[in-house]
Structure formats: C-alpha cells, structure tokens
Amino acid sequence: MPKGKNRIVGIKVVSAAGFRKALDSRARRVLGVSGAEFLKQYSSGSLGPRSLDRKPGTLELATMCFFTKDRSASKKPKRRT
Amino acid sequence: MPAKNRNDAHSNFARYFRESLSVVTTSTLKMRVVGDERALFYEPPIRLQRSAGDDLYLAVLQTYRVVGAGDGFKVSTTSYSYELLLKKGRELETIAEFHWHPNADGNVKWPHVHVKANSPEGALDRKHFPTARVALEDFLRFLMRDFEVTAILPRAKWKEILTRNKKEFVANASWLDYKPLIS
C-alpha cells in the first residue's frame, strides 16, 4: 500500500468503509438500491449470472464487492508487551 | 519494461493511470488495496470540462493485480469500466460504458460497450457490442474528439502523455490473441 515515500501524487488510498461509499454510490445509480442491500443480495448468492448480465453496470458492482472486504479484520492482534 | 519488484510494478501502473487522467481532470483518484488486488476508481462520477453543452461526468473502475514477468513484475488488468454520463436536472444518465470483466460471474467475458440509445430494435443499452480491449488513453481521446471534453493541459503535453502511456500499455499487454471474442 502506498504510504510515506511510496505515496503517489493525485491518488488517495481508501479504507473498506471508504470503498463501501463508492459501492453505495454506484448501486444507487445503477440499480436504485443501497450498496449494503446489493452486497447482501450478492453475498447470499441470490444474484445468478443472468441477473448480473441483465442491467449494464451490475457486473461491475459484483466486481466491487470483493474490495469491500476489511483486510484489518483478518490481521492478527498485536501482542501486548 | 517489467519492474524490479511488486511494489514498483504497482506504483508505476497507478502513476501512469493517474497521469493519463490528468489530461482531463485534477480530481484525486481513489485506490483500494485488498491483498494482491487493487482498484483505481472515480465513484461518484467526476465532472469534466466541456466547451459546450450539458455537464458530462466520468466514472472509472480499473482492477488489477501484479504478476511475475520474466525476471521482474508487471501489472495484469482484471477488469475495467469506463463510463460517460450526462447530468439532466439532478440525475446522472449514462451515455456509454466500456466494460471488460473476464473473471466476473456473468456470461459476458469479452470487452464490450453499452450505448444508451434507441433503435428500430428497441433500446440498445442491454446489448453487449463487442470491442477490442479499450485502453483508458483511447477512451479519453474519444471523449475529447466526439464529446467536446476539454483537455486541461496544453495540446502538445496531453498528446505526449496519452501516446506514451498507450505505448506502455500495449508493450506490457498479455491479452493480444487470436481467439474469438464470443464463444
């Protein structure tokens, strides 16, 4: 992740919460539902390939779901000293 | 040319991508990193400068990962979405969107464009018109040529940036093959 000297001018790295805002913006624009609602439907497997192909932009929403994962959730807790 | 390490490959690609977009916008590009996968995006869409007509907006989503290439590393695109929108009142309406998402769950694996238009056949926006792989640089030139989007850099500068970065894109492409687009 670009931090410190690896930071790239003109690019901002966002958290999972920041990315969920982007998903919400797109889901409302494309399907008229919230990002949380789309994520719930997609994660439950209720959106099959035909559903995803039906409306332009829906597959991109599916692609975005992967990036809503919170990496920090899988990190091991720091050892207390 | 392949990068020496994963971080350089990632940074080089993000820098080229942002530089190409700098031809039409100063908006900060956003990035999300999850493991080896990365997404660069403008969402919500950003407003573009235009010489005439209603306001146009741009939404971008590019996902990629870094892969080994010979002795070094390079970026491999996993999907893209380049979308042009028009603001009518308070609503944003899509004009055209160029997509490629070969690994997604849907049945459409080939690069395609959706066009918001009517025809004797009816609405066309749900049709997947096949295209070649579209580079961001070509999409930006399309916006400037056919939609009067204004470059915010001098002509010589933006031409140099888009030409150089498209050349880099093609030089590193691993997707040029003979297979039919639609199987």
- Across the interface, whether the CB atoms of B59 and A71 are under 8 A apart is answered no
Is B88 strand, coil or helix?
strand
Answer whether residue A74 shows pLDDT above 50. Answer: no
**pLDDT over threshold 90, residue B70:** no
Nearest CA in chain B to A50: B106
pTM of the model: 0.90
**Mean confidence (pLDDT) of chain B:** 92
Q: Do B105 and A49 touch (CB under 8 A)?
A: yes
CB A35 within 8 A of CB B92: no
Q: What does the angle CA A26 – CA B150 – CA B43 come to, to the nearest 5 degrees?
A: 15
Residue A40 CA to residue A34 CA, distance in Å, equals 10
pLDDT per residue as tens digits for the range B97-155: 999 998 887 788 899 999 999 999 898 998 999 999 999 999 999 999 999 999 999 99
- ipTM, interface predicted TM-score of the complex: 0.89
- The yes-or-no verdict on residue B179 having pLDDT over 70 is no
Decide: B152 and B161 in contact? Cβ < 8 Å.
no
The predicted pLDDT at position B176 comes to: 61
- Over residues A36-72, the pLDDT tens digits come to 999 999 999 888 777 777 789 999 999 999 999 886 5
Nearest to A6 among B7, B26, B35 (CB): B7
Q: Which residues of B touch A62 (CB under 8 A)?
A: 104-106
**pLDDT value at B31 more than 80:** yes
pLDDT for the residue B181: 64
Closest chain A CA to residue B108: A53
Greater confidence (B116 vs A2) lies with B116
| Residue in B closest to A2 by C-alpha | B11
Question: Closest partner residue to A14 among B31, B104, B106, by Cβ?
Answer: B31
pLDDT of the residue at B171:
84
Distance from CA of B176 to the nearest CA of A (A): 23
Interval B72-98 mean pLDDT: 94
Give just the sign of the alpha carbon dihedral B157, B54, A26, B123: negative
- Binary contact (B104, A52; C-beta < 8 A): yes
In 3D space, the residue among B13, B111, B15, B105 whose CA is nearest the CA of residue A66 turns out to be: B105
Please give the average per-residue pLDDT across B31-45, as a whole number.
Answer: 95
Dihedral (Cα; A38, A40, A44, A45), 10-degree rounding? 10
Tell me, yes or no, if B131 comes closer than 8 A to chain A by beta carbon: no
CA B183 to chain centre: 24
pLDDT above 50: residue A73: no
Angle between helices B155-171 and B6-21 (to 10 degrees): 140
Whether A32 shows a pLDDT value over 90: the answer reads yes
Optimal mutation site among A47, A50, A66, interface B, most CBs of chain B within 10 A: A66
> How many CB atoms are closer than 10 A to CB B7?
14
